[in-house]
Amino acid sequence: MAHGHSRNYTTLTDATEVAEAEDFHVDAATKGELEVSSQVSLITLNASVWRGDDEEVIASAMDHEDHVGRVWIFFRRGEDQDRSARFRETLVEHIKKVWPASASLPVMPSGTIPLARDLVLTPSGYEVKASEASNYQQAEP
């Protein structure tokens, strides 16, 4: 899922509330940490939702140099798939209220998300550009 960063605070607040309802917690990079990271690769948001005492990542949210201003959220199924699904569905609902134009990202056979430059926005979400599709067809060994 992708959206703009102008309301990152709202996203983190919503994510924290939704995470705590499922007994998860959110760890987010501080402004100083983001400034240090940006010396290597521009980033304005980097946060993760964890189960337990940082035992399992449930979701990660970040923008990155090739999609600064468009925060991508990656959801994992998690050990407790029902709990992870409830979290995902509730958070996506919150995000869609704040950013109705949010769009889903394709997950490739290898489990990765394509590079931003290889994506095109369609009415049903982002898709890999036809000219780049062959680069993403096979799962990595």
Q: Are residues 61 and 30 in the same domain?
A: yes
Task: Count up the domains in the chain and report the number.
Answer: 2
Say if CB 63 and CB 29 are below 8 A apart.
Answer: no
Q: Are residues 41 and 56 in the same domain?
A: yes
- Count Cβ atoms below 10 Å from residue 22 Cβ, excluding itself: 19
pTM, two decimals, is 0.81
**Two tokens, residue 31:** 């402004």
d(CA 111, CA 89): 20
Domain that holds residue 117: 104-141
Q: Are residues 92 and 125 in the same domain?
A: no
Write out pLDDT tens, residues 49-77. Answer: 999 999 999 999 999 888 888 889 999 99
Per-residue pLDDT, 6: 46
β-sheet bridge partners, residue 3:
71
Q: Are residues 78 and 56 in the same domain?
A: yes
